[in-house]
């Protein structure tokens, strides 16, 4: 871009004319010279040459003879040395291909390369220090004006930005890479890639049955392949640790959810079935393993790993160490843990019954309610989400040991997080949560088939605080007893025997009661216990009676509303008048038509909508191909079936052959007649449509149900009135008795 601005007066000319062939234009293409507006001048060989220009250029293009390309010369490939740019083109050359950050980096490298080559002398360097590209770069507008812009170029930075690169994760050497020789490890990995048989590890993890199967395979083969299911397939590093710890083998190859375990060079079984490693390893292997371990330790020290007071590297991250410190003393760890470390406490190994265990004493702070609000519950759930699991549980009952451990944990932490073991049989998280809630008195934050989260509660008291509160209460009670004894002794000292005290008040004494009786008469007689019970029952019956009457009034309103809708639908249709001049058939014909109708496979089903205009259309469609139509209805009452048959005959104009009882329902067989003529309009106007027939059926069903429930309410009201009358008679008879 910069080259074309400085070298040529018209920026697009060089790029356009570089594609032209002047020799062909002058010698061979005479027609082009005649037709074109501008032609190449042959007379002035030393002067500028007029070149053909595109139509969007306003003036002729004049080039020197040395600037015109000669296409007759063969083009040769550039050598590798020609690819390097000239020093002056490194700064001002045009960058092609991409834009943005990539181009800026390339320009910066070219500038550094220019400075490194030392092309510029001291005077030129002084000049270039004073000059900025953004101050002199000019832009030629469409109107011919030259405009300057003083923007700074992207590589001119005011201040350096501090970039923190992401630290690469340090590759930790596996036990197989530390112990085994490289040649042996490579051979085992190649062999592992060709294995096609594996041992399946289910949800329960690496159980004793899986370990026994692995050892059985090791008797005939040095490698065994393990294929893991959930949840261990989600954390194959942890799966490798568990397999190496339980079997004593070495994991030599891992891919996705598959591990290949090597039994070891010196492999034999003890009487307990556990493999023992040979401590006498060859000197070569020992030296190599020591070098690898020293290299890994030196790498960790360079990365700033934490060390203890003895300058030994600390195992595990700060997160793991703090969690281990929190769980120390609560119980044994769950070694089959399928997630990342730290390992939770195995709740199944804790005692089922703890002697003398009692739920903790609870006391809310002043002006504080123990119940959690919705906002507090949400915040506690968010707080519990990133916390590690403290316990792993697989049984439903006898959780006193776990409850005791949770109480100890609550002295250091607000939340106890319990994971439910995968593969444990008949686990019920609801039963677990209810028993733990009864034993600990905590607040259940979350419960599902994977985890249970408990909050210790606002009224939780640690053991030390609870003991202090109990001691304080006991001391307060002792002080109250001492004060009461002192008051009694003082009262006995000032009391005079057999002599009433002078000017003694009569408030609350028998004398005051007798005075009130003589002054105000006999007090009203108190009701006995039987009268109170009768009044209570009477009040309950009256309340129930009012409730039943209210429900009956609601039902009556619904019945009236439904009856109004039904009357409106019934008024929109009417049955056709029966034809008095009916065609008659003999008994033989009737019997023959009945047999034909019963054998028909095609029939017309009559549903809950009853007879509507679509049914009559279907009857005529059947009569188009056959003389008899079979209509099957699901109505149970025979009188309703007869009414439906008569209505079909009246609407269609056919002859009723018979009504038969079938397994599906009742079959109505209708003969079209000898003088049958197909009507021009199959659907009648005086019957209901399909939608209106469905609404009528629904309203009939609704009004029937409402009347049934209204009848039940009336019976209940009558029973309540009878019971109330009996109670009133019993109440009237009791005072007389």
Which residue segments constitute the domains of the chain, with CATH numbers given?
A: 175-262 (3.30.110.60), 318-356+371-460 (3.30.110.60), 577-687 (3.30.110.60)
pLDDT confidence of 414, banded at 50, 70, 90?
very high
CA Rg value for the chain: 52
CB 251 within 8 A of CB 176: yes
Rounded-to-integer distance, Cα 330 and Cα 390, Å: 10
| Mean of pLDDT over the chain | 77
DSSP state for residue 162 in the 8-state scheme: P
Residue 290: per-residue pLDDT? 44
Residue 536: per-residue pLDDT? 87
Rounded-to-integer distance, Cα 547 and Cα 292, Å: 87
SS3 529: helix
Could you tell me which residues are beta bridge partners of residue 12?
A: none
Rounded-to-integer distance, Cα 630 and Cα 106, Å: 91
pLDDT digits (tens, 9 = 90+) for 323-349: 999 999 999 999 999 998 899 999 999
Who wins on pLDDT, 82 or 659?
A: 659
Rounded-to-integer distance, Cα 398 and Cα 566, Å: 64
Residue 33: per-residue pLDDT? 42
pLDDT digits (tens, 9 = 90+) for 56-69: 766 666 766 766 65
Least confident of 29-38, 153-162, 265-274, 384-393: 29-38
CB 391 within 8 A of CB 419: yes
Alpha helical stretches, state H, 268-415: 283-302, 318-327, 374-384, 400-410
604: tokens are 């017309």
Tell me the HSE value of 694 on the side-chain side, using a 13 A CA sphere.
3
* Whether the predicted pLDDT of 186 surpasses 90: yes
Average pLDDT over residues 219-238: 92
DSSP state for residue 671 in the 8-state scheme: E
Residue 94: per-residue pLDDT? 54
Rounded-to-integer distance, Cα 214 and Cα 243, Å: 10
- Residue 5's Cβ-count burial label (10 Å; 0-12, 13-18, 19+) is middle
SS3 223: strand
pLDDT digits (tens, 9 = 90+) for 636-657: 889 999 999 999 998 888 999 9
β-pairing, 451-455 with 443-447? antiparallel
- Please name which of 255, 265, 242 lies closest in space to residue 176, comparing C-alpha atoms: 265
CB 253 within 8 A of CB 193: yes
CB 440 within 8 A of CB 454: yes
- Please name which of 168, 167, 172, 176 lies closest in space to residue 296, comparing C-alpha atoms: 172
pLDDT digits (tens, 9 = 90+) for 477-498: 899 888 888 888 887 776 555 5
CA distances from 263 to 78, 180, 233, 292 (A): 61, 12, 22, 21
Rounded-to-integer distance, Cα 287 and Cα 293, Å: 10
Q: Which residues lie below 8 Å from residue 440, measured CB to CB, with a gap of 6+?
A: 359, 360, 403, 406, 407, 410, 454, 456
Who wins on pLDDT, 1 or 53?
A: 53
SS3 630: strand
Number of H helices, E strands in the chain: 24, 17
Instruction: Mark residue 301 as left, alpha or beta (left: phi above 0; alpha: psi -120 to 50; beta: remaining).
Output: alpha
553: tokens are 């009034």
CB crowding 713-736: b at 16 or more within 10 Å, else e: beebbeebeebbeebeeeeeeeee
* Whether the predicted pLDDT of 200 surpasses 90: yes
Rounded-to-integer distance, Cα 164 and Cα 627, Å: 94
Residue 506: per-residue pLDDT? 67
* Whether the predicted pLDDT of 248 surpasses 60: yes
Tell the residue number behind the tokens 């008899």, with chain if given: 628
User: Cβ–Cβ contacts within 10 Å for residue 344, how many?
Assistant: 23
Residue 317: per-residue pLDDT? 83
SS3 210: helix
pLDDT digits (tens, 9 = 90+) for 256-295: 999 999 998 776 543 344 443 333 333 333 433 443 344 3
How far is CA 626 from its chain centroid?
A: 62
Average pLDDT over residues 111-129: 55
β-pairing, 655-661 with 628-633? unpaired
pLDDT confidence of 663, banded at 50, 70, 90?
confident
For the chain, what percent of residues have pLDDT higher than 70? 69
Least confident of 54-58, 185-189, 716-720: 54-58
Q: What angle do CA 725, 726, 732 make, to 5 degrees?
A: 90
User: Cβ–Cβ contacts within 10 Å for residue 648, how many?
Assistant: 22
DSSP state for residue 636 in the 8-state scheme: -
Q: Which residues lie below 8 Å from residue 661, measured CB to CB, with a gap of 6+?
A: 667
Average pLDDT over residues 228-254: 92
C-beta contacts of 521-524 below 8 A and 24+ residues apart: none
Alpha helical stretches, state H, 137-221: 175-179, 182-193, 208-218
What is the distance in angstroms between the CA of the first residue and the CA of the last residue of the chain? 125
CB 411 within 8 A of CB 462: yes
CA distances from 730 to 524, 639, 716, 737 (A): 22, 51, 21, 10
- Please name which of 197, 196, 204, 264 lies closest in space to residue 229, comparing C-alpha atoms: 204
User: Cβ–Cβ contacts within 10 Å for residue 654, how many?
Assistant: 23
């Amino acid at each position: 871009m910069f080259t074309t601005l400085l070298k040529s007066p018209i920026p697009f000319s060089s790029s356009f004319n570089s594609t032209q062939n002047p020799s062909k234009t002058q010698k061979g293409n005479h027609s082009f010279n005649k037709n074109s507006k501008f032609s190449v001048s042959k007379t002035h060989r030393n002067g500028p040459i007029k070149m053909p220009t595109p139509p969007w250029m306003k003036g002729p293009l004049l080039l020197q003879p040395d600037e015109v390309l000669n296409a007759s010369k063969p083009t040769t490939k550039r050598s590798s040395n020609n690819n390097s740019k000239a020093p002056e083109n490194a700064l001002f050359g045009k960058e092609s291909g991409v834009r943005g950050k990539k181009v800026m980096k390339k320009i910066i490298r070219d500038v550094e390369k220019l400075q490194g080559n030392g092309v510029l002398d001291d005077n030129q360097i002084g000049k270039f220090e004073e000059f900025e590209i953004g101050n002199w770069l000019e832009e030629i507008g469409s109107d011919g004006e030259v405009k300057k812009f003083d923007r700074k170029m992207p590589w001119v930075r005011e201040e350096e930005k501090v970039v923190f690169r992401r630290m690469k994760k340090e590759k930790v050497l596996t036990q197989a890479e530390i112990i085994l020789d490289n040649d042996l490890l490579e051979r085992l990995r190649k062999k592992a890639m060709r294995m096609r048989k594996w041992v399946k590890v289910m949800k329960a993890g690496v159980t004793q049955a899986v370990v026994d199967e692995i050892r059985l395979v090791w008797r005939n083969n040095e490698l065994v392949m393990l294929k893991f299911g959930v949840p261990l397939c989600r954390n194959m590093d942890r799966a490798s640790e568990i397999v190496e710890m339980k079997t004593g083998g070495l994991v030599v190859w891992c891919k996705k959810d598959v591990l290949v375990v090597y039994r070891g060079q010196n492999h034999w079984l003890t009487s307990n079935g556990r493999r023992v490693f040979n401590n006498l390893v060859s000197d070569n292997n020992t030296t190599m393993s020591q070098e690898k371990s020293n290299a890994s330790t030196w790498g960790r020290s360079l990365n700033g790993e934490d060390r203890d007071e003895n300058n030994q590297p600390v195992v595990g991250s700060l997160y793991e160490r703090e969690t281990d410190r929190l769980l120390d003393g609560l119980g044994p760890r769950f070694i089959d843990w399928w997630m990342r470390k730290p390992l939770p406490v195995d709740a199944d190994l804790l005692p089922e019954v703890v002697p003398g265990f009692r739920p903790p004493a609870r006391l809310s702070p002043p002006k504080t309610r123990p119940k959690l609000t919705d906002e507090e519950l949400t915040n506690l759930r968010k707080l519990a989400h990133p916390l590690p699991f403290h316990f792993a549980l697989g049984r439903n009952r006898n959780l006193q040991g776990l409850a005791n451990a949770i109480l100890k944990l609550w002295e250091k932490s607000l939340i106890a997080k319990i994971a439910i073991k995968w593969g444990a049989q008949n686990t019920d998280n609801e039963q677990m949560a209810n028993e733990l809630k009864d034993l600990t008195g905590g607040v259940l934050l979350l419960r599902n088939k994977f985890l249970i989260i408990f909050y210790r509660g606002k009224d939780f008291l640690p053991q030390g605080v609870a003991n202090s509160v109990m001691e304080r209460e006991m001391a307060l009670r002792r002080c109250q007893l001492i004060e009461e004894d002192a008051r009694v002794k003082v009262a006995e000292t000032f009391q005079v025997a057999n002599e009433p005290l002078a000017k003694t008040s009569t408030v609350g004494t028998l004398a005051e009661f007798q005075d009130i009786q003589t002054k105000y008469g006999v007090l009203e007689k108190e009701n006995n216990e039987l009268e109170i019970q009768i009044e209570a029952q009477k009040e309950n019956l009256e309340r129930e009676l009012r409730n039943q009457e209210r429900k009956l009034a609601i039902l009556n309103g619904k019945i009236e509303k439904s009856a109004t809708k039904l009357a409106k639908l019934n008024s929109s249709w009417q049955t056709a008048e029966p034809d008095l001049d009916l065609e008659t058939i003999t008994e033989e014909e009737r019997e023959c038509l009945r047999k034909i109708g019963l054998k028909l496979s095609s029939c017309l089903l009559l549903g809950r909508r009853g007879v509507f205009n679509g049914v009559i259309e279907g009857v005529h469609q059947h009569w188009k191909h056959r003389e008899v139509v079979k209509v099957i209805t699901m109505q149970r009452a025979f009188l309703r079936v007869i009414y439906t048959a008569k209505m079909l005959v009246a609407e269609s104009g056919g002859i009723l052959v018979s009504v038969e009882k079938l397994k599906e329902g009742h079959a109505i067989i209708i003969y079209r007649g000898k003088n049958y003529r197909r009507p021009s309009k199959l659907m009648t106007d005086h019957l209901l449509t399909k939608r209106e027939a469905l609404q009528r059926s629904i309203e009939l069903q609704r009004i029937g149900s409402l009347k049934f429930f209204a009848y039940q309410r009336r019976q209940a009201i009558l029973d309540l009135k009878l019971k109330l009358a009996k109670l009133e008679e019993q109440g009237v008879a009791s005072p007389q008795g």
